[in-house]
Chain A
Amino acid sequence: MKSGKLLTSVVAPLIAIIIAFGLAALALLLVDINPITAYKEMFVFGTSTESLIITVNNALPLFVSALAVGIGFKMGLFNIGIEGTYLIAALFAAYIGAQFSITPVLHVTAILLVAVAVGAFWAWIPAMLKVKRGVHEVIATIMLNYIAFALSAYLFLNVFKAESSSLTIATDLIPETGWIPSLNPVLGWFGIEARAGANLYGFLIIAIFLGIGYHYLVNKSRYGYDLRSSGVNAAAAHASGVDPKRMIVRTMLISGGLAGLVGIAPLLGFYHQYPQDFPRNFGFNGIAVALLGRNHPVGMAFGALLFGFMQRSSLILDLKDVPKEIVTIIQGIVVLAVVIVYEVISRYVQRRVVAAAARATEAEHATVEVAA
């Protein structure tokens, strides 16, 4: 059992990552670039203190996004709408957060609540469409992404944009009470000094709590049991008393609420306002991270860190005349490879478990017969 778990949770992603880097190396060779040099550059650049801090910063939105996707995956519900959800939520959070100033902790809490509420509302729409009208959530959430893009652009330009004459087009600046402070002072206690510009987001603490909360909710609670059994066998869960409609609505609300928090790390840790070029793609990459991490919080944390690392270290490639798109290729292959490798390994593990159980009961059988 233990070795089976190790195989599926550690060996499978490792093999997938090796395959991905291997195939990307082939792609690099095709364009006459020495992959070893390229990877070395990435590694050397990516492991500086500043890069590592930015890796974590990059990973935070991806991790939260993966949590939002992962909880749906656990019951076979595919919320592809994280992308649109977090943009809308971040926009509202930034705008409303800039309207008032209260004590720091309360202010941040209020902004988080706004983001969660907007995100949950945005996910509630496809949940209702599915429950009341049978619209598949994949269709609904993909379409709602486009609505979210258009709606957030409209609201931004026509309603929420600051009137001030600053150079950047953005919402009003959130007062400092609504910022999440950097963790660099904490790093300082451990003797880690980062150069200016690399501030470890304080959202890290919140993300860790979200990960722990996710684990308890999914793996320890009654709701989590209902969620997972719906994913394993919907008919059996239904017969056991799980109301599938209520389950869909609750799970979409949780997923949407988490999605609402995706943009918070850069918003309250860096921008402190919603600029026109607020970072995109956390939602789509979060799906990849959830796949990579097999919907497990620890796995998703590693997946998010890997993606964050690649995103950061790819910056060096442009300077060395290596197309940094190679990183996108690696990310794509990692996800495909992990899905395939995981499937192969889990079948193998499954066979072993079944065989072991058969052997164990056979032995039991034999001893019973001997006794009789």
Chain B
Amino acid sequence: MVQAPAIQLHGVTKRYPGVVANKDVELTVETAEVHAVVGENGAGKSTLMKIIYGMVRPDAGDITIDGKPAHFRTPKDAIDAGIGMVHQHFMLADNFTVLENVVLGSEPRSGLEIDFRGATERIRQLGETYGLRLDPHQKVETLSVGERQRVEIIKVLYRGAKILILDEPTAVLVPQEVTELFESIRDLKEQGHTIVFISHKLDEVLSIADRITVMRDGRTVGTTTPAEVDARQLAEMMIGSELPSPHTKEATVQDVVLLEVSDLSLMSDTGRPLLQGISFVVHKGEIVGIAGVEGNGQAQLVDSIIGLAPGATGEIALSGTSITELSTRDRRSAGIGLIPEDRHRQGLLLSAPLWENAALGHQNKEPYAKGLWIDKKGARAQTEEIVRRFDVMTPNVDVPATALSGGNQQKLVVGREIMANPMVLIAAQPTRGIDIGAQAAVWEELKSARAAGMGILLISADLEELIGLSDAIHVLFEGRLVAKLDPAQITPEILGSHMTGAGEEKAS
């Protein structure tokens, strides 16, 4: 008898007010296969996974799990049916140990006590079987990102999941960690587990998946296998047209130094060094990339340059004039622009209208202000200009920023910073979480700003983007710049090994 598919979806549709997140989705995942679901951001992957995991109920369509119809109301129902989900953003208690995190919510009891010994044993066992090595008694806060992910995987296995949904599991990993994750995934498959792998990194998908389902605009556009397609064809299925590329090769770098950072250091409140002796320059017409695994000081570096880190020591000069003593506002007025890494946290006033968002960071100068007053007319006109030039999809400039999709919000942020024409633009994760179309638009704007003589400091987790756009790349590791690389000479793999600190050891 043929085994029923692990997951089968038929005609699944989910509408949100004004948008259809999923429409007539067809998906068949066989038991013990690695099935990738790919698509741009906003293509409906997350909604689909939330439906399978019981977090969202579909408006129409049938779901069967292992041949049985499923009507999940909560994730608990999905877990009971043997489905586990590893979220992109880890949901772990930092000050708990691995063991405590794993058992949290499903504590094994023997009598009134929690059976920690039994649980420890099981975690060890799971770890050995699937190559997910972990010390059960280590605190999560001391773990690397890759190790934390292992905790999440063990957590769902511990709850008896046979079907694992991994949501963008490689987004936060360096290449070496990705390799380890893939080994574990292969082990899991061999033991009969079914893996649903969500990603938009196509090379990875092609190397790990047995079959691939492509989503676009909320629909499933087709299912294929790695043998049938290459990355390019897959990407074209995803976006339905040709691919953009970050590459920029005509040199525009001039001799004039715009930003000079010398011996910048910063301590945490507890005295731990966050940045140590950072020195670099950005020339006119140059894009300087900062590579590094997240959490190695990128956020602190940006804060120090823009003036949000009061304890920073060292010198920062803009076009030969020291700005070390200036406030954030004065630094901005002196000619530093900022595309913050997290637009929701530092870049937008979500409930405020677009024109007020466009003014953010420039509210003290024309065209947004006249003397002591906000110039609403000027601000709206400028916002309309940004919307037009940067192709922000919005009905008008009076809707709140929250009404826009992530990509359009980002285009607005990028637009307002570039239109303000700063001497130096700090672009932190400028294309994070936006679709390929918007990504290409942002790249184009950064390139033309560079050609016009802007100095750009690019901080990105997207190695292709860094290598493609930058004129020089510095590697930030544990708060220090450990290597300066020529983008023309390196591959993402080489860059990745520098990011883990391995490159430095080899050099010394």
Given A222-B364, A225-B359, 19 other A-B residues pairs in contact with their CB atoms under 8 A: A222-B373, A222-B374, A224-B374, A229-B352, A232-B351, A233-B350, A238-B308, A239-B306, A240-B328, A240-B362, A243-B327, A350-B402, A354-B403, A355-B18, A357-B394, A358-B17, A358-B18, A364-B395, A365-B393
CA A222 – CA B378 in complex, angstroms? 14
Min CB–CB distance A18 → chain B (angstroms): 27
Cβ of A26 < 8 Å from any Cβ of B?
A: no
0/1 interface trace, chain B 330-367, chain A, CB 8 Å (1 if under)? 11110000101000011111111000100111111000
CA A240 – CA B364 in complex, angstroms? 10
Q: A-side binding surface: helix, strand, loop or mixed?
A: helix
Min CB–CB distance A254 → chain B (angstroms): 14
9 A–B contacts, CB within 8 A, in A order? A222-B363, A222-B374, A225-B374, A241-B364, A243-B327, A354-B400, A355-B19, A357-B18, A360-B395
CB contact between B346 and one of A225, A239, A361 (< 8 Å): that residue: A239
B306 touches A357 (CB 8 A): no
Chain B interface size, as a band, is 35 or more
A356 touches B18 (CB 8 A): yes
Chain B residues, CB < 8 A from A352: 17
Cβ of A226 < 8 Å from any Cβ of B?
A: yes
CA A358 – CA B399 in complex, angstroms? 11
Chain A residues, CB < 8 A from B361: 239-241
Cβ of A206 < 8 Å from any Cβ of B?
A: no
CA A240 – CA B376 in complex, angstroms? 18
CB contact between B348 and one of A226, A236, A238, A362 (< 8 Å): that residue: A236
0/1 interface trace, chain B 394-410, chain A, CB 8 Å (1 if under)? 11001110111100100
B349 touches A229 (CB 8 A): yes
Chain B residues, CB < 8 A from A340: none
Min CB–CB distance A328 → chain B (angstroms): 33
CA A235 – CA B360 in complex, angstroms? 12
0/1 interface trace, chain B 167-193, chain A, CB 8 Å (1 if under)? 000000000000000000000000000
Chain A residues, CB < 8 A from B393: 361, 364-365
| Nearest CB in chain A to that of B343: its residue | A236
Decide yes or no: A220 and B346 within 8 Å by CB, A360-B395, A362-B19 being known contacts: no
B372 touches A233 (CB 8 A): no
Decide yes or no: A220 and B394 within 8 Å by CB, A242-B329, A353-B399, A354-B402 being known contacts: no
A239 touches B338 (CB 8 A): yes
Report the interface size for chain A: residues with CB under 8 A from the other chain. 36
| Nearest CB in chain B to that of A239: its residue | B346
A241 touches B328 (CB 8 A): yes
CA A61 – CA B326 in complex, angstroms? 42
Chain A residues, CB < 8 A from B360: 229, 236-237, 240
CA A219 – CA B68 in complex, angstroms? 59
Cβ of B369 < 8 Å from any Cβ of A?
A: yes
Decide yes or no: A223 and B372 within 8 Å by CB, A235-B345, A241-B327, A362-B18 being known contacts: yes
Chain A residues, CB < 8 A from B362: 240
Min CB–CB distance A138 → chain B (angstroms): 23
7 nearest interchain CB pairs? Answer: A241-B329, A360-B395, A355-B18, A358-B18, A357-B403, A355-B17, A240-B361
| Nearest CB in chain A to that of B349: its residue | A232
A243 touches B329 (CB 8 A): yes
Chain A stretch 227-262: residues in CB contact (< 8 A) with chain B: 228-229, 232-233, 235-243
Chain A stretch 323-365: residues in CB contact (< 8 A) with chain B: 350-362, 364-365
Min CB–CB distance B355 → chain A (angstroms): 11
Chain A residues, CB < 8 A from B340: 236, 239
B373 touches A220 (CB 8 A): yes
Most buried by B among A221, A238, A239: A239
Chain A stretch 69-121: residues in CB contact (< 8 A) with chain B: none
Min CB–CB distance B388 → chain A (angstroms): 13
| Nearest CB in chain A to that of B303: its residue | A239
Cβ of A1 < 8 Å from any Cβ of B?
A: yes
B363 touches A226 (CB 8 A): yes
Min CB–CB distance B23 → chain A (angstroms): 13
Chain A residues, CB < 8 A from B400: 350, 353-354
Chain B stretch 400-427: residues in CB contact (< 8 A) with chain A: 400, 402-405, 408
B404 touches A221 (CB 8 A): no
CB contact between B373 and one of A221, A236, A238, A365 (< 8 Å): that residue: A221
Chain B residues, CB < 8 A from A354: 17-18, 400, 402-403
A359 touches B18 (CB 8 A): yes
0/1 interface trace, chain A 13-31, chain B, CB 8 Å (1 if under)? 0000000000000000000
Min CB–CB distance B151 → chain A (angstroms): 29
B327 touches A222 (CB 8 A): no
CA A355 – CA B404 in complex, angstroms? 10
